[in-house]
Chain A
Amino acid sequence: MFHRLPRAAAGVALALVLAGCSSSATPTPAPVITPAPVITPAPATPTAAPATPTAAPTATPCPTGGITGNIVMLPKQINNPYFDVAFKGAQNAACDLGGTLTEVGPSSADATLQIPFIQTATTQSAKAILVSADDANVIAPALKSAMAAGIKVVGYDSSPAVGAYSVFVNQADTAGIGKGLADMACDEAPNCTGEIAVLSAAQTATNQNAWIAAMKTTLTGSKYAGLKLDGVYYGNDDPTISTTQTTAMLAAHPNLKVIIAPTTVGIVAAAQVVTSQNLIGKVFVTGLGTPMGMQTFVKSGAAPEFALWNVTDLGYLAYAVAVDLLNGTIKGNPGDTFTVPSLNGGAPYTIGANSVVVLGPPFVFNAQNIDQYVASFGF
C-alpha cells in the first residue's frame, strides 16, 4: 500500500546536479521520544545498484583512496526532506573524497535533543561533525568539547555560535538572499508597485529574521520605491498557522499584491490560500521554496517565481570542507582558500569573517525551469 517513488539518484548531467554513487539509503524510523542515536547507513559500497531497474544504472563506483574515518552529519531534524537532500550531497562527497558518513539526529528540531548526538560522536572519536544548529548557543558547549577532543566541527545551513565551529558553510549570504527576495517581489508586483507583506517562520528564526532585515535594507533603494511593506507575519513553519496568517493578512490588506514567504512551509501555505481564494493574478506569492512543493503554483501563476540555494551542493561543500580541515589543506581561518572541483565552476572558495564560507547566490525557479529541477532535486 505504501508505494514510494524510489529516491533514485540518477546521474543527470545538469549544472546543479552532482552525479555520484547512488545508494538506496533507507533511514531507520525515527525514535520519537528518546534521543537515541539513529544510524543511517553509510554510503553504499561501489556495487550498490539503483533502487529500481527503470533508473538508468549510471552510478559510477566511488574511487578508492581519500581520507579514512567516520564523519557524523547532524541535521536539525532527521526525516526532513531538505536535510535528506543535504545528506545526499554529503554522501556524494564521501564517495568522491573518502571517509565514512553517518547521519544521526533528533526527529523534532530541538537543540537539546541534538546534544546527546554530539556527545556520542565525541566519545566515539568521530573525525568530524557536520552540524545544522537548532539553536546556536544551546549546542555550543557540547561542540566546544568535541573540538577540544580534536574533532573538526563544520556548521552548515544554520550556524552554531561563533567559536563553536571550525568553519560554517552558509547556503547563501544574508545580503544576497535579502536582495533576491526584494527583486522577486519587484518582478511580481505589476510595475514594481503596490503593497507587499512577509509571511515568515517563527519570530525567533535566526535565518528568516536576518533575510527579512536584509530585504528591508534593499527595499530602501530607489528601484523599489513603489513597494510598500504592510508588515511581517509569522506562520511558525506550521501549515495551519501559516494558512491562518495568510488568510488574515489578505483580509487586513485588500490591496496586497505580493506575499514574500522566505520559508518552504509558509510559501506553500500562502500559495494554497491565494489559489483557494481565487486570487491568482491579483496576489502573487514568492520567497524560498522547494521545486516539488512549488511546481503546481509556479505553473498556475499563484507563485510565478521563487528561489532556493542548491541543497545537494550545500551538503557536498560541508563534507568537502571537513575533509580539507582533516587534510590540513585549510585551518578554517578567514582568508583561507580552497577549491572543490565539482562546485563553484572549479573556482576557489575563500573563508570570510567568522570563518564563514558562502555556497553561492540563491537560484531562481520559474515556469521555464521548474520541471527540470523537480526532476533533479527530487524534493
Chain B
Amino acid sequence: MALSAPANVRAPSRVGTLIGRAARSREVTLAAVVVVLSMFVWFEAPNFLSSTNLISVTALTAIIVIAAVGEALVIITKNIDLSVESTMGLVAFVVAEMLKGQNIPLPAAWALGIGLGLALGMANGVVITIFRVPSIVATLGTLSIYRGLTYWVANGQEITTSDLPNGYTDPASQTIFGVPLFVILAIAVVIVAALILRYTVFGRQVYAVGSNAEAAATIGVGARSTVFLVFALAGMLAGVAGVLWGIEFGQLYASSASGESLAVIAAVVVGGVSISGGSGTVVGAAIGALFLGLINNALTVLNLPQEWLQVIYGAVILLAVVTDALVQMRTQRAKARSRMR
C-alpha cells in the first residue's frame, strides 16, 4: 500500500503524513483489526478461513452491508432510520407471497419488492420532511407499522421453501470465481454509493445537510429534499436487502429480520459514520458490517462459552471503537505537536 517506503530520503515527512492519514481513517484501522482478528481466529480454528465458512458468513453479511449503505446515507444527514428491519421483513414476505400465490416471473417479483422498499422509504421521507417529525420518532412509528403490515399480509402463515420456486435459495450459495454472488452485488452497491457521495452534487449535499443544515440552507442546499431522497434510497436498499433475505433463508416468518435494525446501525457506527452527522463513508459502514459478521461467527467457532457471547460481542464492538478513538487522538496530538515545532 502507500506504506512501501519511497527511496527518496527527503520524503519522510510525506510518508509520515500518509501513515497519519491512513491511521486517521477509520476504514483502514478497522480493516486492519479485521485482518488481525481473522488471523488470530484462524490460528485457533483453521476452519474459520475455510471457503465454505467464509462464503456463508460473507453472504449473510452482504445483506447487512446493502442495508447499511442506506442507513449510512441517512445517518450522515444527521437522521436515523429505525424502520429498516421492518422494511426488509415486509419486502421479503411480500416477494415470497407473490411467488407463492401467482405465477409471476422472478425478476418482476424482485423489482416489485425493491419498488415496495422505495415506497416505504418515501413514506418515511414524507413524514419526516413534510410533517416535520424527527426521524427517530417517525421511523419508530413506521418500524411498528411496517411490521404490523407484515403480520397482516402473513395472516398467521409462514412461507417455506416448498412454497417457493425450485432452487430459489440457490443464488445465496453461488459464487463467481470463488466470490459469493451476494458479495459481488454488495460491493457494487458500495462502489456506486461511494462514487455518488464523493463526486455528485447530491453527495456533497448529504454531507452539507448533516454537518450544518442551516448553513446548507443559506447556500441554497435544500435540506428537506436531500433528506427525503436519502430516506427513499435507504428504503430502496432495504428493499434490495429484503429480496436477498428471502433468497438466503427461503423460510419467511411475519417476524423475519426482526432486530436487524440494530445490527445495521451498529455496522454503520462501528464503520466510523458519526451519529452526529456530516462525516463517515459507506465503505466504512461496509467494513463495519463485515467486522461484526466475522466477530459473530468467530466467537462461536472459537467455542467460547455460549452464555458469554453477547457480552464478548458488545465488548469487542466497544474495544474497536475505543481503539479507533485513541488512535485518532494520538495522531491528532502528534499533528498538533509537529505544527508547533
Contact = CB atoms under 8 A, between A and B. Distances in A.
B52 A277 contact: yes
A273 interface: yes
Given A32-B147, A244-B300, A252 B45 contact: yes
Nearest to B309: A234
Nearest to B260: A240
B153 A252 contact: no
A31 B151 CA distance: 9
Given A3-B101, A203-B306, A244-B300, A277 B154 contact: no
Contacts of B263: 240
A180 to B, nearest CB: 22
Contact of A239 (B48, B249, B296, B298): B249
Contacts of A7: 157
Interface string A3-14: 111010000000
Contacts of A243: 56, 60, 248-249
Output the residue of A80, A234, A239, A379 with the most chain B CB within 10 A: A239
Nearest to B298: A248
Interface in B285-341: 296-303, 306-307
Contact of B306 (A234, A239, A292): A234
Interface string A232-275: 11100011100111011111101000000000010011001101
B250 A272 contact: yes
Given A2-B101, A247-B57, A296-B160, A239 B256 contact: yes
Given A1-B98, A296-B160, A265 B253 contact: yes
B259 interface: yes
B97 to A, nearest CB: 6
Interface in B118-169: 144-145, 147-148, 151-158, 160-163, 169
Interface residues of B, number: 58
Interface string B244-267: 000011110111111110010000
A234 B100 CA distance: 31
Contact of B300 (A32, A245, A265): A245
Contacts of B298: 248
Contact of A252 (B253, B260, B303): B303
Interface of A: 1-5, 7, 26-27, 29-33, 78-81, 84, 107-108, 203, 231-234, 238-240, 243-245, 247-252, 254, 265, 268-269, 272-273, 275-278, 292-293, 295-297, 374, 379
20 contacts: A1-B94, A4-B97, A5-B157, A32-B148, A78-B156, A84-B156, A107-B151, A232-B306, A233-B300, A243-B248, A243-B249, A244-B297, A247-B297, A248-B53, A250-B47, A251-B52, A276-B169, A293-B158, A293-B160, A296-B160
Given A79-B151, A231-B303, A272-B251, 5 more contacts: A29-B152, A107-B148, A203-B306, A243-B60, A265-B253
Interface of B: 45, 47-48, 50, 52-53, 55-57, 60, 94, 97-98, 100-102, 144-145, 147-148, 151-158, 160-163, 169, 172-173, 248-251, 253-260, 263, 296-303, 306-307
